[in-house]
């Protein structure tokens, strides 16, 4: 437009040039002539041809309108009612019509601003432009995350939604490690997935080795002391991303979406997304998968993803082909060392004739014979309290495992769990704790394994306590109030009101009778006797 304006001022502008400009801009020739006339009057019109110039009195979006849009979640009609009410109270000018308000909002606010005022930061982020990271090389950066599968699975007769923990390589889109937990995940799930990701032997390979960096999103399990210490020992840098920034780890977030669309949505028990305020519905009579079957299908899909699926960023290659085409050398860790690095340190203990005392319980092993009195260091897998790993405190040499002494039988553990469930039904405060049972994370199809070992002594003590307290807990101690005290007792009015006036008062005897203050008729009163003449 500025070029046409310059030609017009020089007297060289022709109708053909205006017609060509109109064809390029997709407007009529008359509109171009009108823009030229407006540009001669105002230079600003040449920078934005066709845009309606601001005129005095035109309504524009103010900070007040922005605040009301945020308050009413983008509801323009509610903002108009609020502005009208404020004008009626004399707190501002009368607002324009609703169509004018709509036009002003569309003109003065970007789509991202309108979405952010209506739905928050996440909605606004959908209108942003993001840069793509370079692909890099294999094991340069991994990303990890927990995701709760939207599928109900049969876990010991209870329908639960299992959790998936996995690591993925950003350069090749390969799933390097995965662990499935029937209940809530923990640092044990992260360590199990990490071991399967690093090891390259069967059945975990060929993906693996040590990465240079791992991205996490401030999850407490990934930043726990045990997991952080494992990464430090393995010489892996942990990049803690800011909260609510899923776009900064897009590889694993894309994997979370892909597994639901490609696998989980077709499984029985899929928890379909309900409408707000509605519960997810399932077809009647639907048979849920067992936890073992669910794990099998997930691992089969993982193998398909790594060996057959061809993601768009890889340009026709599978993750396995991209991994094998990359000549970057890999850093491997022996399996025994990796197991040691991914255990939690519990400090040093003294090996006694009863074994090792840990968390008020004794652990023993056949290798302990003849070694009582030495100092040892304990390492253990979180929540797997049935076994600990023991090392020499001075040299760090691995001595062997130690199992829980006097471990309860399966029947005792089942009886204890039934007693705990009955107590949970009576006490609401225990209900939440009963729902958070710990399960071991697995890398291969297996039945769900509950965590939490008990000794036989502990099981018998808890069962005895439960049997002894059942009736006492149900007793109503204040159902029948006590009888009224003797008339001569000086009883406070507040306590006398809680007694039963109709019952006969007990007569004190022995040492306590000397403490009774005699009433006015006490001297003439005769003791009561029964049929045989004995004093009552």
pLDDT value at residue 113: 92
Residue 521 pLDDT level (bands cut at 50, 70, 90):
very low
Can you tell me the distance from the alpha carbon of 364 to that of 387, in angstroms, rounded to the nearest whole number?
A: 9
In this structure, the number of other CB atoms found within 10 A of the CB of residue 128 comes to 8
The residue ranges of DSSP E strands in 316-373, in sequence order, are: 344-350, 356-358, 361-364
Question: What's the whole-number average pLDDT of the chain?
Answer: 81
pLDDT value at residue 257: 92
Tens-digit pLDDT profile for residues 477-489: 556 667 777 877 8
Give percent above pLDDT 70 in the chain.
80
pLDDT at 428 over 50: yes
pLDDT at 459 over 90: no
In this structure, the number of other CB atoms found within 10 A of the CB of residue 56 comes to 4
pLDDT value at residue 508: 52
Can you tell me the distance from the alpha carbon of 135 to that of 137, in angstroms, rounded to the nearest whole number?
A: 7
pLDDT value at residue 536: 45
- Domain 141-325 matching CATH 3.30.420.10: the answer reads yes
**Sequence-ordered list of residues with C-beta below 8 angstroms from that of 362, at least 6 positions apart, any chain:** 354, 355, 356, 404, 405, 406
pLDDT at 433 over 60: no
Are 400 and 448 in contact by the 8 Å Cβ rule? The answer is: no
CATH of region 346-404 = 2.30.30
Q: Strand 158-160 and strand 153-155: pairing?
A: antiparallel
Residue 517 pLDDT level (bands cut at 50, 70, 90):
very low
pLDDT value at residue 446: 80
pLDDT at 10 over 50: yes
> Mean pLDDT over residues 82-106, rounded?
92
Tens-digit pLDDT profile for residues 447-456: 887 777 767 7
> Mean pLDDT over residues 79-106, rounded?
92
> Mean pLDDT over residues 508-536, rounded?
45
> Mean pLDDT over residues 394-398, rounded?
86
Are 463 and 416 in contact by the 8 Å Cβ rule? The answer is: yes
Can you tell me the distance from the alpha carbon of 522 to that of 513, in angstroms, rounded to the nearest whole number?
A: 12
User: Domain-by-domain residue ranges, the chain?
Assistant: 2-47, 63-125, 141-325, 346-404, 410-470
> Mean pLDDT over residues 116-143, rounded?
87
Alpha helices in 372-445, H assignment, sequence order? 410-426, 431-435
Are 209 and 139 in contact by the 8 Å Cβ rule? The answer is: yes
> Mean pLDDT over residues 65-76, rounded?
92
Three-state DSSP class for 229? helix
Run of H or E residues at 321 = helix 319-325
Three-state DSSP class for 252? helix
pLDDT value at residue 307: 93
Residue 519 pLDDT level (bands cut at 50, 70, 90):
very low
Domains 141-325 and 346-404 equal at CATH topology level: no
Can you tell me the distance from the alpha carbon of 68 to that of 109, in angstroms, rounded to the nearest whole number?
A: 14
pLDDT value at residue 165: 93
Nearest to 52 by CA among 61, 64, 62, 44: 44
> Mean pLDDT over residues 180-206, rounded?
86
Tens-digit pLDDT profile for residues 200-248: 887 777 899 999 999 998 788 888 888 888 899 899 999 998 877 888 8
Tens-digit pLDDT profile for residues 289-335: 999 999 999 999 999 999 999 998 898 999 999 999 999 999 998 88
Nearest to 336 by CA among 226, 195, 210: 195
> Mean pLDDT over residues 263-284, rounded?
72
> Mean pLDDT over residues 70-96, rounded?
92
pLDDT at 529 over 50: no
Residue 188 pLDDT level (bands cut at 50, 70, 90):
confident
Can you tell me the distance from the alpha carbon of 91 to that of 70, in angstroms, rounded to the nearest whole number?
A: 20
Give the CA dihedral 170, 175, 178, 183, nearest 10 degrees: 70
Are 456 and 408 in contact by the 8 Å Cβ rule? The answer is: yes
**Sequence-ordered list of residues with C-beta below 8 angstroms from that of 357, at least 6 positions apart, any chain:** 349
Q: Tell which wins on pLDDT, 482 or 368.
A: 368
Residue 65 pLDDT level (bands cut at 50, 70, 90):
very high
pLDDT value at residue 225: 86
pLDDT value at residue 56: 64
pLDDT value at residue 513: 41
List the beta bridge partners of residue 358.
361
Starting at the edge strand found earlier in the chain, the sheet holding 163-169 runs 175-181, 163-169, 141-148, 213-216, 237-240
> Mean pLDDT over residues 141-164, rounded?
92
Can you tell me the distance from the alpha carbon of 290 to that of 153, in angstroms, rounded to the nearest whole number?
A: 6
Give percent above pLDDT 90 in the chain.
32
pLDDT value at residue 100: 92
On the CB side of 500, CA atoms within 13 Å amount to 11
pLDDT at 53 over 50: yes
pLDDT at 125 over 80: yes
Residue 57 pLDDT level (bands cut at 50, 70, 90):
confident
pLDDT value at residue 321: 94
> Mean pLDDT over residues 356-369, rounded?
87
What is the distance, to the nearest Å, from the Cα of residue 43 to the centroid of all Cα atoms in its chain? 57
Can you tell me the distance from the alpha carbon of 508 to that of 39, in angstroms, rounded to the nearest whole number?
A: 114
What is the distance, to the nearest Å, from the Cα of residue 44 to the centroid of all Cα atoms in its chain? 54
pTM over 0.75: no
pLDDT at 59 over 80: yes
pLDDT at 470 over 90: no
Q: Is the peptide bond before 203 cis (omega within 30 degrees of 0)?
A: yes
């Amino acid at each position: 437009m500025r070029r046409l304006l310059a030609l017009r001022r020089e007297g060289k502008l022709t109708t053909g040039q205006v017609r060509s400009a109109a064809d390029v801009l997709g407007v009529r020739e008359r509109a171009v002539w009108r823009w030229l006339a407006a540009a001669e009057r105002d230079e600003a019109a040449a920078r934005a041809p066709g845009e309606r110039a601001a005129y005095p009195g035109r309504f524009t979006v103010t900070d007040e309108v922005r605040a009301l849009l945020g308050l009413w979640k983008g509801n323009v009609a509610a903002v108009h009612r609020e502005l009208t009410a404020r004008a009626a109270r004399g707190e501002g000018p009368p607002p324009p019509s609703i169509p004018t308000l709509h036009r002003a909002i569309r003109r003065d606010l970007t789509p991202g601003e309108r979405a952010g005022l209506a739905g928050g930061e996440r909605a606004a982020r959908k209108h942003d432009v993001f840069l793509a990271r370079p692909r890099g090389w294999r094991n340069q950066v991994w990303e990890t995350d927990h995701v709760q599968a939207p599928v109900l699975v049969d876990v010991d007769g209870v329908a639960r939604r299992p959790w998936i923990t996995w690591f993925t390589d950003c350069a090749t889109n390969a799933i390097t490690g995965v662990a499935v937990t029937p209940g809530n995940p923990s640092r044990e799930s992260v360590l199990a997935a990490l071991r399967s990701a690093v090891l390259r032997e069967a059945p975990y390979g060929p993906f693996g080795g040590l990465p240079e960096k791992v991205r996490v999103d401030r999850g407490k399990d990934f930043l726990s002391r045990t997991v952080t210490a494992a990464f430090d020992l393995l010489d892996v840098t942990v990049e803690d991303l800011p909260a609510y920034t899923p776009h900064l780890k897009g590889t694993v977030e894309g994997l979370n979406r892909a597994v639901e669309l490609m696998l989980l949505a077709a499984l029985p028990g899929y928890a379909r997304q309900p409408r707000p305020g509605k519960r997810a519905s399932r077809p009647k009579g639907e048979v849920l998968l067992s936890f073992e079957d669910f794990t099998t299908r997930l691992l089969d899909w993982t193998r398909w993803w790594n060996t057959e699926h061809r993601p768009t960023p890889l340009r026709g290659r599978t993750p396995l082909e991209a991994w094998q085409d990359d000549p970057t050398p890999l850093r491997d860790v022996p399996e025994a060392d990796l197991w040691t690095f991914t255990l939690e340190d519990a400090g040093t203990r003294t090996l006694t004739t009863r074994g090792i005392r840990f968390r008020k319980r004794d652990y023993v092993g056949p290798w302990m014979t003849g070694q009582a009195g030495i100092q040892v260091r304990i390492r253990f897998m979180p929540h797997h309290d049935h076994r600990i790993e023991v090392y020499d405190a001075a040299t760090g040499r691995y001595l062997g495992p130690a199992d829980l002494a006097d471990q309860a039988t399966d029947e005792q553990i089942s009886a204890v769990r039934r007693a705990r469930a009955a107590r949970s039904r009576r006490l609401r405060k225990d209900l939440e704790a009963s729902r958070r049972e710990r399960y071991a994370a697995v890398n291969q199809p297996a039945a769900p394994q509950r965590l939490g070992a008990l000794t036989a002594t502990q099981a018998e003590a808890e069962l005895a306590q439960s049997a002894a307290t059942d009736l006492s807990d149900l007793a109503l101690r204040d159902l029948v109030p006590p009888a009224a005290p003797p008339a001569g007792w000086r009883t406070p009015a507040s306590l006398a009101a809680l007694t039963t006036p109709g019952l006969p008062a007990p007569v004190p005897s022995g040492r306590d009778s000397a403490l009774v203050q005699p009433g006015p008729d006490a001297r003439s009163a005769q003791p009561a006797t029964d049929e045989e003449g004995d004093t009552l």
